[in-house]
Structure 1
Amino acid sequence: MDMIALFGNPNTGKTSLFNKLTRTYAEVGNWSGVTVEKKTGLLRDKSAVLVDLPGAYSLLPLSLDEGVATRYLLEEPPAALINIVDASQLQRNLYLTVQLLEYGRPLVLGLNMTDVADATGLCVNKELLAEQLNVPIIPMVARTGSGSKQMLATLREVRRTSNNFQLDYGPAVEAAITDISSLLTDAPIPQLRWAALQCLENNPVVMEWMTTEVQREKVTARIQRCGEDLLGEGYAATPAQHIRSVRAAWIADLCTKALDTSRFKPHSLTDKLDAVLTHRYLGLPIFLLLMYATFKFTFDWAGTVLSDMLDGFFSETLSSWISEVLVQLNASAFTQSLVVDGIVAGVGGVLVFLPQIAILFLIISVIEDSGYMARVTILMDRLMQAVGLNGKSFIPFIIGFGCNVPAIMAARTIEQPRERLITTLLVPFMSCSARLPVYALFTGVFFPTHAASVIMLMYVLGITVSLILAKIFSKVSILSGEPSLFIVELPPYRIPQALTLFRSTWEKVKGFVRKAGTIILAGSVGIWLLSNFGPQGFGAEMDDSLLATIGGWFAPILAPLGFGTWQAGASLLTGFMAKEVVVSTMNIIYHVPDMQGLEMQVRHAFTPLASFSFMVFILLYVPCLATVAVIRKETLSWRWTGFSVIYPLTVAYLIAVVIYQCGRLLGWG
């Protein structure tokens, strides 16, 4: 089946178009860095497979995610291309368009965000643009689906056409293109002119993939001679600079003809909002106030009521119904206890917090889709620069509030390897949704009137610890280096779409529920078995069980932190699988019928100070198993993977000890 590749600058609506054309769902955000690897989906008419590639301003990759797009053109040449461009930022977007046209495959240009262009008074002459580029142009608003049907119909036709776009780069470069093309005749790609141009631009992906070591030396020598020829023609530029300048001049001339800016007016509302929300001194306090309001609404108001209702369903209705069914089936006592006390208690003990997590996901989706999240990275840039990173590193931090796994993958957007590695090592300190059940449980018991403040403090503490460690890592010789320049596109503010918010929230909630049905289910069964087996076999008392023995090994080590019990040790150990399993473990260990019973047991086992120390330890200690796996995948190093497990455990232990021991000295214990 034919493959069609979807290209575009970051935040131009590629993923929105992908969702409309394939009727699948990929994460959408009104900010750059959402797509970091290719996604595939079958077109609605089932005529081809559509490939959504990471956003790129150019085929010359500056980061790992941008390299995905170029590598795809080399390794899996598509039958056709879709290039989606932002109509309100036409001149900048067309640079990638020129490079894609030079690739030689049939191309459809999706002129997206025409509503934004119209709102600012920009008028694009679509007929003239189509004539100059010699490609079909589809005006569209991808987020609403406008233009998607025309895009599908055009894709069926365009695959039968050809593309002969070509710019004249002058005698010196054209001669070099011919010579380099002759050196690449055995390369498995039809468009040698495009490959030669990419070599002249010093594209490392193309140079490495298309040339042998001998060819690379010859190509490099020809590029150097091209530079000398350019000097002879009076151009004080390298071949790459000259190629860029020719393209830029051609694009500028095209935009002069095709773009009417006589009625242009800036985003007045966006400018007014930015004057306040990105203010040098007011911006960060406003963001913190917004996050506090989010936690207040989630954990003090709406979420608590819904969680109580769900707790009643699991502990009473569902448990009673399952017990009756098992009795009718003459199930053994072993089976009844496993299902009711193990599976229902373990999985249900986590799912009762689902309403709070869903509300938090919904509010964060609103913040993302409105365009405000991109501004937060700007607000944090100065602070990030002070610790040796830049605002782009804060994007994975924010994504980490949902889940650390995609957050670490989002670090691919960072150009400098040093900053990318540091960000990868620090992301696990971000308070992901898996930790929320633990926070909700302990704040509900010990800090019911200040739950929002305590939970927000966990988030702030995670960021603070990350910034301090970033400063330390930046000073270490093996991780030191010059920070990269931070450039981010600020999209206009917009009212989030209800459907987009629903799908975004649903996908995150579905991931949480899926984990409950797999990892947490398996963990609950394992924990129940360990808690019921002892030296004498099945039916051992809880304190004599294998789980108590294992947890007891860690109890003396945890005593200086305020929770030196085997129950706490066992919960933390199983938390390595997934942080939600901590609550599942407690539910099974304490053998309680509902959340109210668990809260009562926790109140007896912990003090307020010890509970705070426990939450801090949960926040900072070892990443979950899935996060460790993705760190290994991204770093390609067992050494850094091992370090990512050991050093957070050390940091968590030291900070929790300081908090508990200082608290005791101050009489808070």
Structure 2
Amino acid sequence: MSIKIALAGNPNCGKTTLFNGLTGSNQFVGNWPGVTVEKKEGRLKGNKDVIIMDLPGIYSLSPYTLEEVVARNYLITERPDVILNIVDGTNLERNLYLSTQLMELGIPVLMAVNMMDIVKKYGDEINIGQLSKKLGCPVVEISALKGTGIMEAAGQAVALAAQSRQNAAVHKFSADVEAVLEEIERCLGDGIPEEQKRFYAIKLFERDDKITARMSMVPDVEHLIRRTEEALDDDAESIITNERYTYIASIIDGCYRRKHRQKLSTSDKIDHVVTNRFLALPIFALVMWLVYYVSVSTVGTWATDWTNDGLFGEGWEMFGRWVPGIPVIVGDFLASVNCAGWLSSLILDGIVAGVGAVLGFVPQMLVLFIFLAFLEACGYMARVAFIMDRIFRKFGLSGKSFIPMLIGTGCGVPGIMASRTIENDRDRKMTIMTTTFIPCGAKLPIIALFAGALFGGASWVAPSAYFVGIAAIICSGIILKKTKLFAGDPAPFVMELPAYHMPTAVNVLRSMWERGWSFIKKAGTVILLSTIFIWFTSSFGFVDGSFGMVEDLSDGLLAVIGRGISWIFAPLGWGSWQAAVAAITGLVAKENVVGTFGILFGFAKVAEDGQEIWGTMAQTFTAVSAYSFLVFNLLCAPCFAAIGAIKREMNNAKWTWFAIGYQTALAYAVSLCIYQLGTWFTTGTFGIGAAVALLVIALFIYLMVRPYREGRSLTARLSAGKAV
């Protein structure tokens, strides 16, 4: 029979690192039933009968956020065999608040005090034996980052789960509160297991509406709560909170000795610089420029060129031998078996050219993912959320909205899903609408393609794409907050800033591989099917009244479709049917933009840097129109998978269409201004297009500076659908 261990702890306590260390590659990622909060489950290394559930990082079991609701419901309904409570040893008092709640659930609890290496480095002392005695539950020391003591902790958790009863002592509140809790426990009757009654009693005392509704609280209890509140001159929730901290303080006094420090810690010294009011943003801009410069313009470019020229090109010379690339090998094989012409074209011009054009950029993406994983693991990205809170709050959002955007740098789908952490419904909707403005991994091939092909690998192209996304978010926040749809103060932002530390290579590489493998799997499924469709519609068409394979791609079905819609994009500078088709296929998956060009222009020419690509792409783009195309694809409606995530999160078709419409309209307006004004500045020719662009900018500025007005009609139309 399997044993279930639930990992519970505060955010940034090292819970995910411990989960990775205990499960290794035996992990399964999905969503909690009914919600889109990520659910991680794994099996203990060396013991497949032990299932480990990684609960969302939470500060308490009070139902303020969806994560807290998910964690609480799992614990009280699923009833794991044991809770492995991870506690940050450097913030013991704050972490013990959740611990006191966990012990009231009646489930065996094993406390693992993490980061003990840092505690000892600071000269602090935690008396583990005394802490265990006072709490009434076993306590162990671990260092999840270094892997110290983690398997021993898992072994003790398994042994504790085998015990038939819970030995943990439940702390006592003051006499007045205790009397009320005992009366509520008595009133709950036989419908609640004995070991859970205290937890439910406390939740009823705290006026937890969802628990109250589930328990159908006995009316007699209400006057007890009011009497206690009057006696202690405070509300019930505050009373319980104060009592908890009083209890925690009594434990800390005898178990934790903190060394007196006159000097600032290394993390504090670094934060004085990187979170400085004036230096924070320039440093952040410099860091992101460096990340994208290395990923796209130097190391990433070298790795991508090596891959494209070799693996997906003619081949390369290795160890004195010429090794042919995949197109050469596949082409020779197809020729040797006398493959039919249409099938050979499908494989070489469709699958190899389309999918290969996308996979050729994987090295650049892996370099970018390594940098992002390092910045997240070392603690810097948590500071960025703090920095962005100062900015976002001025424009109607909080730093909490930056977390989904940060996650969205890998993929927009989990970024959109992460918006569930935002309590304020208006802020959550706005975050969903703007998260995909930040370039995700799928958009990096588009950035790399145009940076290398039309801008000579200029170092400013890739970072500018990132900051165009942030600018779009800020401007959207200003504009949307002036409507009744999104009016209101942003939600408060509370976030733990972990101490800076050097991430382990294993964790960084695991994070990089998870993101990269997700991209590769998409290339092997969605993009493969898309490229086959693109090849068929571009290679077949009607010529002289008969349908068949065409020699000129401009006679294919895709060209007919492209010419039918290309007029829409002509004001943006890229009215050719190839560019129009590439933009539309990007709705299926953004990687399809590169794959489409790979088929329509020939893979070898798209993949390589230099004059060949310039000669081919210059027939479709100028430098200004290329940047217009790039910005449009960065800001417009995301891929189908992300649109599906928006639909799930909005839970309303009208809100989904509003989000897609807003994203596409903003992308069109910005791209129009870039091309029309860019052409005016570079050629000196002022035309109707430039005049329209100036009017668009004037309207944009008006929407940003105008006083607040309630958009009643728009609110009424959108609210007519199903409420979220």
For normalisation by structure 2, the TM-score amounts to: 0.87
Q: How does 1:216-365 map to 2 (within 5 A)?
A: 216=217, 218=218, 222-223=221-222, 225-232=224-231, 235-263=232-260, 268-312=265-309, 313-316=311-314, 317-365=325-373
SS in structure 1 of the partner of residue 5 of structure 2: strand
Provide the residue aligned with 2:531 in structure 1.
524
Q: How does 1:187-202 map to 2 (within 5 A)?
A: 187=192, 191-202=196-207
Residue 591 of structure 1, CA deviation: 3.1
1:152-180 CA-to-partner distances (Å, cap 9, x unmatched) read 22022101332253232244433433443
Cα distance in 2 for partners of 1:283, 1:301 equals 26
SS in structure 2 of the partner of residue 629 of structure 1: helix
Note if 1:486 corresponds to 2:485.
no
Q: How does 1:179-218 map to 2 (within 5 A)?
A: 179-181=183-185, 182-183=187-188, 185-187=190-192, 191-208=196-213, 210-211=214-215, 215-216=216-217, 218=218
Provide the residue aligned with 1:11 in structure 2.
12
Cα distance in 2 for partners of 1:417, 1:588 equals 43
SS in structure 2 of the partner of residue 479 of structure 1: coil
Task: Tell me if structure 2 keeps the 8 A contact 1:81–1:107.
Answer: yes
Q: How does 1:524-563 map to 2 (within 5 A)?
A: 524-535=531-542, 536-540=546-550, 541-563=552-574
Cα pair distance change 1:323/1:188, threshold 3 Å: farther
1:343-391 CA-to-partner distances (Å, cap 9, x unmatched) read 0000111111111111111111111111111111122121111011111
Residue 526 of structure 1, CA deviation: 0.9
Note if 1:576 corresponds to 2:587.
yes
Amino-acid identity (%): 37
Cα pair distance change 1:633/1:611, threshold 3 Å: same
Aligned partner of 2:173: which letter? Y
Residue 73 of structure 1, CA deviation: 1.6
Cα pair distance change 1:323/1:388, threshold 3 Å: same
Provide the residue aligned with 1:173 in structure 2.
177
Residue 263 of structure 1, CA deviation: 4.7
Match of 1:52 among 51, 54, 73: 54
Provide the residue aligned with 1:75 in structure 2.
77
Provide the residue aligned with 1:472 in structure 2.
479
Note if 1:615 corresponds to 2:636.
no
SS in structure 2 of the partner of residue 593 of structure 1: helix
Match of 2:602 among 591, 605, 623: 591
Residue 396 of structure 1, CA deviation: 1.4
Task: Tell me if structure 2 keeps the 8 A contact 1:434–1:580.
Answer: yes
SS in structure 2 of the partner of residue 577 of structure 1: coil
Task: Tell me if structure 2 keeps the 8 A contact 1:430–1:462.
Answer: yes
Larger mean CA deviation between 536-545 and 284-293 belongs to 536-545
SS in structure 2 of the partner of residue 604 of structure 1: coil
Aligned partner of 2:287: which letter? L
SS in structure 2 of the partner of residue 382 of structure 1: helix
Cα pair distance change 1:112/1:27, threshold 3 Å: farther
Task: Tell me if structure 2 keeps the 8 A contact 1:445–1:603.
Answer: no
Note if 1:370 corresponds to 2:378.
yes
Residue 101 of structure 1, CA deviation: 0.5
Aligned partner of 2:452: which letter? G
The RMSD of aligned alpha carbons is 2.1
Larger mean CA deviation between 8-17 and 405-414 belongs to 405-414
Residue 511 of structure 1, CA deviation: 1.3
Cα pair distance change 1:25/1:419, threshold 3 Å: farther
Aligned partner of 1:542: which letter? L
SS in structure 2 of the partner of residue 103 of structure 1: coil
Provide the residue aligned with 2:33 in structure 1.
none
Provide the residue aligned with 1:32 in structure 2.
none
Residue 86 of structure 1, CA deviation: 0.4
Note if 1:640 corresponds to 2:640.
no
Residue 325 of structure 1, CA deviation: 1.6
Runs of 4+ more than 4 Å apart: 25-28, 187-190, 263-267
Residue 501 of structure 1, CA deviation: 1.3
Provide the residue aligned with 2:388 in structure 1.
380
1:134-192 CA-to-partner distances (Å, cap 9, x unmatched) read 21111000122111121122022101332253232244433433443333632578512
Task: Tell me if structure 1 keeps the 8 A contact 2:27–2:42.
Answer: no
| Runs of at least 5 residues in structure 1 that lack an aligned partner in the other structure | 29-34
1:639-667 CA-to-partner distances (Å, cap 9, x unmatched) read 22111211111111111111111122223
Task: Tell me if structure 1 keeps the 8 A contact 2:39–2:54.
Answer: yes
SS in structure 1 of the partner of residue 661 of structure 2: helix
Residue 203 of structure 1, CA deviation: 2.9
Cα pair distance change 1:265/1:347, threshold 3 Å: farther
Cα distance in 1 for partners of 2:254, 2:593 equals 63
For normalisation by structure 1, the TM-score amounts to: 0.94
Cα distance in 1 for partners of 2:245, 2:604 equals 69
Aligned partner of 2:104: which letter? E
Provide the residue aligned with 1:446 in structure 2.
454
SS in structure 1 of the partner of residue 156 of structure 2: helix
Aligned partner of 1:55: which letter? G
Match of 1:605 among 605, 620, 625: 620
Cα distance in 2 for partners of 1:25, 1:426 equals 34
Larger mean CA deviation between 350-359 and 480-489 belongs to 480-489
Residue 205 of structure 1, CA deviation: 4.2
Aligned partner of 2:581: which letter? A
Task: Tell me if structure 2 keeps the 8 A contact 1:429–1:462.
Answer: yes
Cα distance in 1 for partners of 2:136, 2:144 equals 23
Cα distance in 1 for partners of 2:24, 2:308 equals 35
Cα pair distance change 1:230/1:613, threshold 3 Å: closer
Provide the aligned length of Structure 1 versus Structure 2.
654
Match of 1:511 among 488, 509, 518: 518
